[in-house]
């Protein structure tokens, strides 16, 4: 199994973009008919990413359960997004519904009784999931979605070569980060790569800073729709620190035109033009594939986001994409629901799935896999990334996925203006409060 087959992008996990491999629609029998009532037990998932893992687990299930096979269809991101929206609206969704955790979409499914409460029905499957990731499938402390693949925490990637050449200290605090920025700016090196043209990479900065300063409760109040919740002092301070970093030259020049889909931000690091990048675990495959020799020299390191002195947030908290998730359709027959639940308990994040995910160089959202990770040729990276998720007191889903579509788009636009110094923190707060 070649690693190149598993190139992951943040878009394949979060915002349905062009990063997925467009293979069209394929199915394990049955063509492209709707997946609702009368179709038997069905599942829809995505091409690319963890596709090989899903194929392996469904194939194994179908071989073992000839009387309760699950028909699977694989979609490119955009195709899936369009098809599932239409299917949900007409009651023709598959038995197993693929989603992104407890963001706006899942909340809408629950509100409209489109997926069932799985609490107490998937105890075996739930016991295999990392607690911090399992929480991302809960609404009102009830399980409506189970993590089904790999977790993608965001972390700070370090160009060890540049840090050694210029005598910079790997930052563990905000002040140390600013000090490193000064060192690299003076040396003519871009301190931190960021794909500003894509906008969403900006999110990791406001998310981590808000959490470090005020804790996860700050954004939870936004999600709860509390009036003026964007006015929280932690959010304002986070915005001020972002603009402090911009004014210090932290992102160099021209960062607003760097495109993530082309991995141009990652390339700045492995070509030794940038010293750091705050990104998700999905970019690790970019380093492996595009900079094999550079990686073999041991030039890459990863560390947690720095501490903000005086902050209230737990330093173990992480942000990113907890995983992708399976829900069970409320419109499916009772028989099909039972088959889907049995599949989840028997196969979801089981041995076959974990093996395939680790071989792909990704971090399974499963508990108690330390031994398997240590045996991997990429053990140093995988164990670190896994530890971030395993030990997280809280795992915050990407804000643009946690919010409904309208506020999410407003967030990206306003945050981009913050990074470009086009608006003030007060402007941002006023604009975002207007979306509540």
The domain that holds 16 is classified in CATH as: 3.40.190.10
Q: Cβ–Cβ contacts within 10 Å for residue 358, how many?
A: 24
Lowest mean pLDDT among 12-16, 20-24, 122-126, 355-359: 20-24
Lowest mean pLDDT among 33-42, 205-214, 226-235, 399-408: 33-42
The arithmetic mean of pLDDT across residues 31-36, rounded, is 41
Q: Does 268 lie in the same domain as 141? A: no
- As a whole number of Å, the end-to-end CA separation of the chain is 47
Q: Alpha-carbon distance 341 to 102, whole Å?
A: 19
Q: Alpha-carbon distance 214 to 218, whole Å?
A: 6
What does pTM read for this prediction? Answer: 0.83
Is 347 a member of any domain? yes
Q: Alpha-carbon distance 278 to 253, whole Å?
A: 17
Q: In the chain, pLDDT over 70 holds for what percent of residues?
A: 91
Lowest mean pLDDT among 30-34, 142-146, 421-425: 30-34
Lowest mean pLDDT among 28-42, 63-77, 412-426: 28-42
Here the tokens at position 40 are 């038997």
Q: Does 277 lie in the same domain as 239? A: yes
Q: Alpha-carbon distance 262 to 397, whole Å?
A: 24
Q: How far is the CA of 355 from the CAs of 33, 55, 150, 372, in angstroms?
A: 32, 13, 11, 8
Q: Does 252 lie in the same domain as 156? A: yes
Here the tokens at position 228 are 């003026």
Is 376 a member of any domain? no
Q: Does 171 lie in the same domain as 45? A: no
User: Tens digits of per-residue pLDDT, 281-324?
Assistant: 988 888 988 999 999 999 999 999 999 999 999 999 999 989 99
Q: Cβ–Cβ contacts within 10 Å for residue 60, how many?
A: 16
Residue 237 has pLDDT above 50, yes or no: yes
Q: Does 207 lie in the same domain as 135? A: no
Is 46 a member of any domain? yes
Q: Does 104 lie in the same domain as 116? A: yes
Q: Does 170 lie in the same domain as 144? A: no
Domain count, the chain: 2
Residue 76 class from Cβ within 10 Å (0-12 exposed, 13-18 middle, 19+ buried)? buried
Q: Does 142 lie in the same domain as 45? A: yes
Three state DSSP letters for 129-157: ECHHHHHHHEECCEECCEECCEEEEEEEE
Is 268 a member of any domain? yes
Q: Does 341 lie in the same domain as 287? A: no
> CA torsion sign, 25 to 27 to 29 to 30?
negative
Q: Alpha-carbon distance 220 to 225, whole Å?
A: 9
**pLDDT value of residue 26:** 29
Is 279 a member of any domain? yes
Domain that holds residue 328: 3-149+323-367
- The three-state secondary structure class of 329 is strand
Residue 424 has pLDDT above 90, yes or no: yes
**pLDDT value of residue 62:** 97
User: Tens digits of per-residue pLDDT, 246-278?
Assistant: 999 999 999 998 988 778 999 999 999 999 999
Q: Does 305 lie in the same domain as 339? A: no
State the average pLDDT for the chain.
89
Q: Alpha-carbon distance 318 to 402, whole Å?
A: 15
Residue 159 has pLDDT above 60, yes or no: yes
Is 58 a member of any domain? yes
Q: Does 246 lie in the same domain as 314? A: yes
Q: Does 312 lie in the same domain as 179? A: yes
Length of the chain: 436
Strand partners, 328: 96
Q: Alpha-carbon distance 295 to 105, whole Å?
A: 38
**pLDDT value of residue 36:** 47
**pLDDT value of residue 38:** 54
Residue with tokens 């088959």: 339
Strand partners, 158: 276, 301
Is 307 a member of any domain? yes
Is 346 a member of any domain? yes
Q: What are the phi and psi torsion angles at 181 (to 5°)?
A: -60, -45
Residue 17 has pLDDT above 80, yes or no: no
**pLDDT value of residue 158:** 98
DSSP annotation string for 334-394: HHHHHHHHHHHHHHTT-HHHHHHHHHTT-EESBSS-HHHHHTSTTHHHHHHHHHHHHT-S-
Here the tokens at position 49 are 């990413």
């Amino acid at each position: 199994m070649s690693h190149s087959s598993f190139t992951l992008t943040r878009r394949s996990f979060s915002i349905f973009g062009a990063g997925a491999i467009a293979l069209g629609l394929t199915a394990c029998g049955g063509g492209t008919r709707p997946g609702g009532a009368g179709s038997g037990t069905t599942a829809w998932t995505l091409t690319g990413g963890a596709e090989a893992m899903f194929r392996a687990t469904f194939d194994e299930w179908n071989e073992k359960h000839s009387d309760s096979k699950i028909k699977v269809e694989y979609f490119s991101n955009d195709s899936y997004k369009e098809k599932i929206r239409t299917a949900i609206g007409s009651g023709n969704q598959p038995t197993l519904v693929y989603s992104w955790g407890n963001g706006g979409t899942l909340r809408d499914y629950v509100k409209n009784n489109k997926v069932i409460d799985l609490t107490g029905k998937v105890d075996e499957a739930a016991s295999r999931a990392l607690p911090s990731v399992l929480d991302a499938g809960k609404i009102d402390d009830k399980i409506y979605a189970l993590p089904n693949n790999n977790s993608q925490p965001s972390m700070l990637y370090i160009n060890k070569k540049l840090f050694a050449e210029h005598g910079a200290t790997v930052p563990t605090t905000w002040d140390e980060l600013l000090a490193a920025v000064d060192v690299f700016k003076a040396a003519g090196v871009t301190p931190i790569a960021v794909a500003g043209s894509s906008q969403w990479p900006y999110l990791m900065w406001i998310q981590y800073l808000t959490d470090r300063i005020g804790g996860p409760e700050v954004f939870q109040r936004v999600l709860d729709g509390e009036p003026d919740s964007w006015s929280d002092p932690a959010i304002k301070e986070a915005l001020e620190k972002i603009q402090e970093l911009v004014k210090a030259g932290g992102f160099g020049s021209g960062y607003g035109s760097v495109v993530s889909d082309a991995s141009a931000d990652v390339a700045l690091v492995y070509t030794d033009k940038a010293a750091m990048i705050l990104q998700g675990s999905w970019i690790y495959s970019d380093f492996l594939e595009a900079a094999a020799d550079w990686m073999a020299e041991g030039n890459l390191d990863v560390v947690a986001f720095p501490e903000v002195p005086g902050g209230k947030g737990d330093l173990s908290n992480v942000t990113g994409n907890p995983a992708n998730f399976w829900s069970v359709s409320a419109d499916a027959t009772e028989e099909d629901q039972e088959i889907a639940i049995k599949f989840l308990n028997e196969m979801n994040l089981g041995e076959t799935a974990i093996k395939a995910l680790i071989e792909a160089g990704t971090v399974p959202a499963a508990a108690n896999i330390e031994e398997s990770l240590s045996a991997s040729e990429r053990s140093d990276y995988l164990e670190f990334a896994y530890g971030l998720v395993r030990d997280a007191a809280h795992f915050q889903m990407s804000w643009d996925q946690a919010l409904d579509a309208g506020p999410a788009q407003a967030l990206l636009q306003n945050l981009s203006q913050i990074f470009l110094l086009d608006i003030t923190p007060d402007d941002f707060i006023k604009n975002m409060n207007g979306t509540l």
